[in-house]
Structure 1
Amino acid sequence: MQVHNKHPFVIFVFFLQCFRALCCKGPPPPRPEYDVVCIGLTGSGKTSLLSRLCSEGTETVVPTTGFSIKAVPFQNAILNVKELGGADNIKKYWSRYYQGSQGVIFVLDSASSEEELEIARNELHSALQHPQLCILPFLILANHQDKPAARSLQEIKKYFELEPLARGKRWILQPSSLENMEAVRESFIQLIGQLEEKDLEPGRV
């Protein structure tokens, strides 16, 4: 029986190629980072959503006082989310924290009372028209969609007058709940897409 051995040079080249493939590619390019501000009334669920996106527990979540910053990782980008507390004595200072923002996340409780929904509507209108935010992409999350009293996206869109108010802006309206975090993650990925396309003509999503 005759055995055919590979030439030593061929073996050397093979291992050299493997070495280059494993060791010589260098570190992957850094993911872009975007600074976004997250606003909404107390009880809208901002903190719980962000905690869950960061794989943190929500059992001990308490309303944010002042502000907190979380780095939320995604495959192609990192969102540095500055969450502002939604209490009456805090939200009047929201505008002090808008500077440097590249995008906006507004979370509303779609199952809240008419009175609270009206307050949320006024706050969203104010944010959409603020000089430092008005040209930025907006992600609006109609949260608590798992509750029986939750209003539909069409009801939210009509009540908040989003079509006329946000005309000419880049905005995304999506349902959300802690029961469907995959959908929440997809909403954030849509926002990242808007942030990546800074030169895109403004339009509704």
Structure 2
Amino acid sequence: MEVKHVVSMVFICCFRALCCKGPPPSRPEYDVVCIGLPGAGKSSLLALLCNEGSHGIGPTTGFSIKAVPFPNAILNVKELGGAENIKKYWSRYYQGSQGVVFVLDSASSDEELESARNELHSALQHPQLCTLPFLILANHQDKPAARTPNQIKKYFELEPLARGKRWILEGSTTNNMVAVKENFILLIRLLEDTDTGLPARI
């Protein structure tokens, strides 16, 4: 009887292991706001991250929301249009954000780059955003006139401005979406560190 009992228990344990695992644990979700001036490439990057086509994408009017899936999390990205008549209302959509994606055109004119610099400075110092992790993408790195991430960091004075904050600055292009996904995964790690209270990894 004891042998039969042991065999029965082994069978039950094996059955549970094979058939009763239950659904996989759900991925955490984070709410992220995506900002940047017109032409920075926000919409194209997000469309490609969602495996959508980027052809025929026009400037975002108002805002759009995309659930962008990654292996370890889902980012609910609220993209805000960058036109002047929309930009002044950005702060109305900041509430509830857990992270920030700022996209800039690294090949833009000096005047446009200065405008992007001013907007990033404002975002980094905004009361609702200043404590959040930032992913800053110097987009259009495939263009001849593109500034490197190091040039952007120096011109934008990021080291002194963002000291003590959690931020990542990387180059990006729609021609290398693998690298873009890796940059977003770095942002997710910062968001996870915020949840666990661990020191930020930059």
- Scaled by the length of structure 1, what TM-score is found? 0.90
Tell me by how many angstroms 1:23 deviates.
2.0
Q: Secondary structure at the match of 1:156?
A: helix
Q: Comparing both structures, which one devotes a greater share of its residues to helix?
A: 2
Instruction: Give the Cα separation in 2 of the matches to 1:53 and 1:97.
Output: 22
Instruction: Give the Cα separation in 1 of the matches to 2:187 and 2:21.
Output: 31
Offset from partner CA, 1:22-64 (integer Å, 9 cap, x none): 3200001110000000000010000000000000001121110
Instruction: Give the Cα separation in 2 of the matches to 1:142 and 1:172.
Output: 11
Q: Tell me the equivalent position of 2:140.
A: 144
Instruction: Give the Cα separation in 2 of the matches to 1:15 and 1:48.
Output: 53
Instruction: Please list every run of at least 4 consecutive aligned residues from structure 1 whose deviation after the TM superposition is greater than 6 angstroms.
Output: 11-15
Q: Secondary structure at the match of 2:118?
A: helix
Instruction: Give the Cα separation in 2 of the matches to 1:18 and 1:148.
Output: 61
Instruction: Give the Cα separation in 2 of the matches to 1:202 and 1:169.
Output: 9
In percent, how many aligned pairs have the same letter? 76
1:74 and 2:75 aligned:
no
Offset from partner CA, 1:166-204 (integer Å, 9 cap, x none): 00100000110001100000000000000000123457x
Gaps of 5+ in 2: none
Instruction: Give the Cα separation in 2 of the matches to 1:202 and 1:31.
Output: 21
Q: Is the 8 A contact 1:69 1:82 kept in 2?
A: yes
Q: Secondary structure at the match of 1:183?
A: helix
Tell me by how many angstroms 1:14 deviates.
8.4
Specify which of 185, 198, 201 is matched with residue 200 of structure 1.
198
Gaps of 5+ in 1: 1-8
1:120-199 correspondence runs (5 A): 120-198=116-194, 199=197
The one-letter amino acid of 2:143's match is: K
Instruction: Give the Cα separation in 2 of the matches to 1:147 and 1:13.
Output: 66
Tell me by how many angstroms 1:17 deviates.
6.0
Q: Secondary structure at the match of 1:140?
A: strand
Q: Is the 8 A contact 2:190 2:200 kept in 1?
A: no
RMSD of equivalent CA atoms: 1.9
Offset from partner CA, 1:80-112 (integer Å, 9 cap, x none): 000000001101110000000000000000000
Q: Which has the larger radius of gyration?
A: 1
1:99 and 2:95 aligned:
yes
